[in-house]
Structure 1
Amino acid sequence: MAVALVMYFMPSSKIIDTGLSIVPQAENVDANIQASSNVAATKSIIEQAHFVGSETCTSCHQAQHQGWQQSHHSQAFAPANADSVVGDFSTVSVNYSDGVAVFEQQLIDSKTQYQIRLTPLSSDSSDSIEQIYPVVYTLGIYPLQQYILETHPGNYQVFAVAWDARKAEQGGQRWMDLTTSDATDDTLHWRQYFQNWNSQCASCHTTNFETNAAFATNTVFKNKTPANITADANSNKSPTFTSTWSEPAVSCESCHGPASGHIQWADNKENNEHVSKGLVRQLATEDYWQFVANEPIAQRLTSNNDATAMPVIDGCANCHSLRQPISTISHESTQTDWLNNFEPTRVREPLYFADGQIREEDFVYGSFTQSKMAHAGVTCLNCHDAHSGQVKGYDAQQLALPSNDGVCAQCHRADVFAVETHHHHPVESESARCVSCHMPERTYMGVDERRDHSFQIPSPALSQLLDTPNVCTECHSNNSDAWAAEKVEAWHAASPIIDNGEMDFADWLLEFSRLNNRLVQARTDNEDTTQLISALTTLENKRYTLLASTKTPAMKKSMLLDTMPINSQQAFDTLVLRLSDDDVVVRLAAISIIRNFDISHRQQLLMPLLKDPIKSVRFAATLALADLLATPQFISQQNNRKNKRLLKENVRQFIEAYEYHGDLLGSQMTLADINRQMKDWDAVVIAYQRALQLVPTYVPALVNLADVYRLQQADNKAEPLLLKAIAVTAENARQAINDPGDIYAFALQQQASVEYALGLLYARAKNYSKAIVPLDNAVQLSPANTDYFYASLLMLDALGERNKALELLRRSPLTQNNEQLTALLRQWQP
């Protein structure tokens, strides 16, 4: 996405450098009893709270307001004016993918107004007329500032060319074209869905944002029911927007919730003892860490009047995460637990590398919650100032992070970690800094360097096995992963890393990758694999131990579950136990695996989770069980009445939530999924058509809708969808040819699967001469796929070319290890 990430916001922690335990003072019981009498009144104030604006907060919180004014949050989104615009609009011409953009400004009624004049590449272009767009808003501030144009009333798009706000000596103070493709129908083109501000940016760049999207019938998604969405099913128009927000920035109330109740609390002296202070969302302002004798890392002390760690992270995760919204109210609202408002995206490929390092834009949460630091109770606020959003010690003038690792030394003893025996680099060098090894940078949008927050120990040996990045060879670029692995192994032999001797996730993943690679090679070489399989079985037992351990971070547990084969009773029992795990993300991972089980096991295991206290868990279980409502046996059973009512109510809430966020592509695809399970085919078609209204080139929607038409025996409607999907996937493959191997391979596989579907469509129509072309294409694109090969052989046979098919069958290496192909060979042998 071409949207600059605002800086992380986060308050101070106190480090107690003593070997003594700290015992909290006894509470004033009388004061607590007195305060509790006002609980009901304060609760009412909170429930009725509304937004008042950041200026209202300034009168009492001047220091916090001043810090916030310097933050990226305060500049996340603003009306375009002389105070907010940092780009050069002095009639500057910039060549970009569509043609020429001229950035201009003029003085109207004593106010500077900004505009962008667009001249197309040629008169043959679909947008061949010169257009002038006023710049309506700015988006972000550093390292890039982007500009928002109103392409239709209420529809705001983020323009392709952004201002590089870095210093000139850093390569900045210039216009940058962020376009990744010159195709105007590319999903990342500035006029397309993923650059739509209303759907993709606004909720995290404003306060109290409501999308208010509608399709052609102008029926707003909010409170929409399945019965009243059919009228616009065949419309090709994108949704329209009448979006609203309270404040054009990430303000106080984005984090603390609507503040009218807080003002009432402040004005009412009788309520001033109540712990909530009239605030909708409570965030901890301080926590306490203590160095214990002979321990190199401080330990967290939880005071009885401190909020717990996770609500702090939850407050930040509202925006600093990959997630699907599932609320039916603005997500900057009254819910403290964000997992009732969102379903988090778990750490999996291709969004992350196989070892959990960041790959695509992950917005921190998924990365940080893997870390041992987060698991120990470290929060965003321990390293970042709550209101300026900067890392503690940040030099605002030099735009530089602290150079002395002081942030890390709050909890990690410098005499243990900031020494050459630990980091093995000259002490004053950049390579000796903690972040250089434990928070590697990855660059997005050309210049936006973002640090990994999983705080992993570099493992070039693992990178060698999994083809993942590692900081060693990023600096020592002339050397290999093998060279780096040898160096690191020698370091650790001479000076072991601080460790308790137990296998953790990183140790397990390294050993698993080694054994798995050796097993693959042994099978290729026809070697005996008995010992390797035995070793992997032992390692599976260690997987189960890690999953049961309270020392394993929840996100790591979800990664362990995602790759766990359910091939034994112990594996099954381990999985079932995770359904009652304390961590939501672990329960979600377990549900995603059980969703693939047969219907009776799903019903038995997941039905209780329809009553889970967390909405994201209930919704995941609902999606996994929805097909029960189309199962006659479940519907007819008298003893299922309560379960039927429970499931139907969860389905109703599920659909309501996803329709509320129906301007999101993921929402429409999920609505299609749940309705397909319930065999509500009209609703399925509507959802896929709406997905294609949002992104006309979205291949999964094209293919899935074509498959629905296949089921409805309407191949005449399916054919144009598949032809379009082939054109899109072929272009995707062409553009991915220079990308990392797995991305290019995925593009080829996607094209092959669509070619196969089109070939089967023609085969059903007995148009064999037409069918053989896409089937042969599928085989060429994915030569290891036996289904594609088998279908192409049958088409050759249907065309009277059995001898040719038989020769291909005999020569193919696929035949030997595939029962279906072997049977066909026996059948056709003379």
Structure 2
Amino acid sequence: MRTMPSAGRPSAANRGLYHADGQIQGEVYAYGSFLQSKMYRHGVTCTDCHDPHSLTLKVPGDLVCAQCHQPQRYASERHHHHPAGSTGASCIACHMPQTLYMVVDARADHSLRIPRPDLTRKLGTPNACNGCHADRRVAWAEQATLDWYGPSLSRRAHFGEVLQAGRTGAPAADARLLTLAADAEQPGIARATALSLLSGPLDAARMERLRPLLNDADDLVRAAALGVLDQADPHTRMALAWPLLDDAVLAVRVEAARVLAPLASGAPADLNEDARARLALGLEEYRATQLANAERPESHLNLGLLDSDLQRPEAAEQAYRTALRLDPTFAPAYVNLADLYRALGRDRDGEALLQQGLERLPDAASLHHALGLLRVRQGQFPAAIQSLTRAAALAPENTRYATIHALALEHARGNNERRRP
């Protein structure tokens, strides 16, 4: 699997953290949604609205919006189409809907978006209109926004449609994702997410589209473009990732070091002494960013993946074990440690580990999938199909699980036909 984001680098708008259109879903930093806003693009910062010490609003409620936006235009029924003084007349209610976390924490979405009921219909994402009018159908809200604001606002293309195509493995999704990634008018976090969702091969045509993104003005895009180079050969990694070891942004530098890590364990002739020393400094910087969050299992997962790339299996095993000690319900550590055991010819240990994980996480699709692949290697096809079927059922949106499940069924069907007299 790919690594988790390094310390100080916002997560991509991934499933479970964000809805496909970028609205907050899990417990993420407000900064990640704020990066999507027009306010951010126009230079607004956190301290334009919040006191930097207390984090409270500088002025109450909608008055904070009136610092920049003319009340006579926006605080009017002609704009919000609700009775003055009602909840629906509030800027915050429509443009910063809240999600309740931990029972008591009502967290506002900071992407400051226009409500889009049409995306609710297309993508299943929430919208502020139906958040208040829960008794009305989405079609009612969609028609209302269309009547009030016209198609240029209420129906315009949205990056969420492309990210949803990438999440679901829709036909031609990769081409759309690359187009989104290259669109400098779109939020950097959305463009970076598009790169993280690419699933096809890193062929010459894709490389041509990827190259300029390694020098993009947005550091999230540069870092995500580096992540795509995980599929590249050593020569390509060296040519494209090496210059970014000196990037001005720490998150980009450490991602470059991570991508280049496999070169450090290559033949001595692959890198000269100065190059090895420079890469070693980059890898030390990467380790430091992970250990800044040493209490988190994700950091030790990343260190395990790094040590695997450096051909240090004992260190990798220790890192994965540390991740599981910190959180025995962290499924990625089970999967990656079992895969390490596979590479070391220790599938029996991997089998015991995955079974242990499934005792704690019986509905973890990734664990069922990994166990199914292990059963295939063991030649236990009925048991393999059972595990792969369970994985595909638990994560129907995962096209990889569905594809491998289908291949296993086809293989079993072929074997049955060959056995017929």
Match of 1:509 in 2: 159
Match of 1:722 in 2: 354
- Cα distance, 1:580–1:391 mapped onto 2, change above 3 Å: same
- Cα distance, 1:430–1:659 mapped onto 2, change above 3 Å: closer
Q: Is the 8 A contact 2:174 2:199 kept in 1?
A: no
- Cα distance, 1:718–1:752 mapped onto 2, change above 3 Å: closer
- Cα distance, 1:786–1:434 mapped onto 2, change above 3 Å: closer
Would you say 1:785 and 2:417 are equivalent positions? no
| C-alpha distance after superposition, 1:382-405 (max 9, x if no partner) | 1112333211234xxxxxxx3xx2
Secondary structure at 2:106's aligned position in 1? strand
The aligned runs of 1:563-578 (5 Å cut-off) are 563=197, 572-578=207-213
In 2: Cα distance, 1:536 partner to 1:662 partner: 35
> Which of 123, 129, 132 does residue 475 from structure 1 map onto?
132
Match of 1:378 in 2: 44
Would you say 1:450 and 2:107 are equivalent positions? yes
Secondary structure at 1:443's aligned position in 2? strand
- Cα distance, 1:423–1:825 mapped onto 2, change above 3 Å: farther
Match of 1:419 in 2: 76
Secondary structure at 2:134's aligned position in 1? coil
In 2: Cα distance, 1:352 partner to 1:387 partner: 28
Give the deviation of 1:725 after TM superposition.
Answer: 1.5
Give the deviation of 1:616 after TM superposition.
Answer: 1.6
The aligned runs of 1:260-279 (5 Å cut-off) are none
Match of 1:587 in 2: 222
Larger radius of gyration: 1
Give the deviation of 1:438 after TM superposition.
Answer: 0.4
In 2: Cα distance, 1:433 partner to 1:367 partner: 20
- Cα distance, 1:789–1:828 mapped onto 2, change above 3 Å: farther
Q: Is the 8 A contact 1:358 1:452 kept in 2?
A: yes
- Cα distance, 1:514–1:596 mapped onto 2, change above 3 Å: closer
In 2: Cα distance, 1:656 partner to 1:363 partner: 22
- Cα distance, 1:698–1:427 mapped onto 2, change above 3 Å: same
Give the deviation of 1:457 after TM superposition.
Answer: 0.8
Give the deviation of 1:460 after TM superposition.
Answer: 0.8
Secondary structure at 2:55's aligned position in 1? coil
Query: What TM-score results when the alignment is normalised by the length of structure 2?
Result: 0.84
Q: Is the 8 A contact 1:348 1:559 kept in 2?
A: yes
Give the deviation of 1:571 after TM superposition.
Answer: 5.2
In 1: Cα distance, 2:304 partner to 2:286 partner: 12
Q: CA RMSD in A?
A: 3.5
| C-alpha distance after superposition, 1:716-760 (max 9, x if no partner) | 433321211122231xx3xxxxxxxxxxxxx4x324314314524
- Cα distance, 1:560–1:826 mapped onto 2, change above 3 Å: same
Match of 2:29 in 1: 363
Name the aligned partner's letter for residue 646 of structure 1.
Answer: R
Q: Is the 8 A contact 2:354 2:367 kept in 1?
A: no
Q: Is the 8 A contact 2:163 2:193 kept in 1?
A: no
In 2: Cα distance, 1:719 partner to 1:536 partner: 34
Query: What TM-score results when the alignment is normalised by the length of structure 1?
Result: 0.45
Name the aligned partner's letter for residue 787 of structure 1.
Answer: I
| C-alpha distance after superposition, 1:434-492 (max 9, x if no partner) | 11110000000112111000001111111211111111111121222222212211222
Name the aligned partner's letter for residue 338 of structure 2.
Answer: A
> Which of 753, 758, 763 does residue 369 from structure 2 map onto?
753
Name the aligned partner's letter for residue 583 of structure 1.
Answer: D
Match of 1:648 in 2: 280
In 1: Cα distance, 2:180 partner to 2:59 partner: 40
In 1: Cα distance, 2:12 partner to 2:35 partner: 10
Would you say 1:553 and 2:169 are equivalent positions? no
| C-alpha distance after superposition, 1:617-639 (max 9, x if no partner) | 1111111111112333xx3246x
Structure 1's unaligned 5+ residue stretches are: 1-321, 326-341, 395-401, 524-532, 734-746, 795-804, 810-820
The aligned runs of 1:172-183 (5 Å cut-off) are none
Match of 1:36 in 2: none
Q: Is the 8 A contact 1:554 1:586 kept in 2?
A: yes
Secondary structure at 2:274's aligned position in 1? helix
Give the deviation of 1:553 after TM superposition.
Answer: 3.4
Match of 2:58 in 1: 392
Match of 2:266 in 1: 631
- Cα distance, 1:562–1:780 mapped onto 2, change above 3 Å: closer
In 2: Cα distance, 1:482 partner to 1:355 partner: 18
| C-alpha distance after superposition, 1:541-575 (max 9, x if no partner) | 9636xx353x4433233234444677886754342
Q: Is the 8 A contact 1:723 1:758 kept in 2?
A: no
Q: Is the 8 A contact 1:466 1:513 kept in 2?
A: no
Match of 2:144 in 1: 487
Structure 2's unaligned 5+ residue stretches are: 394-400
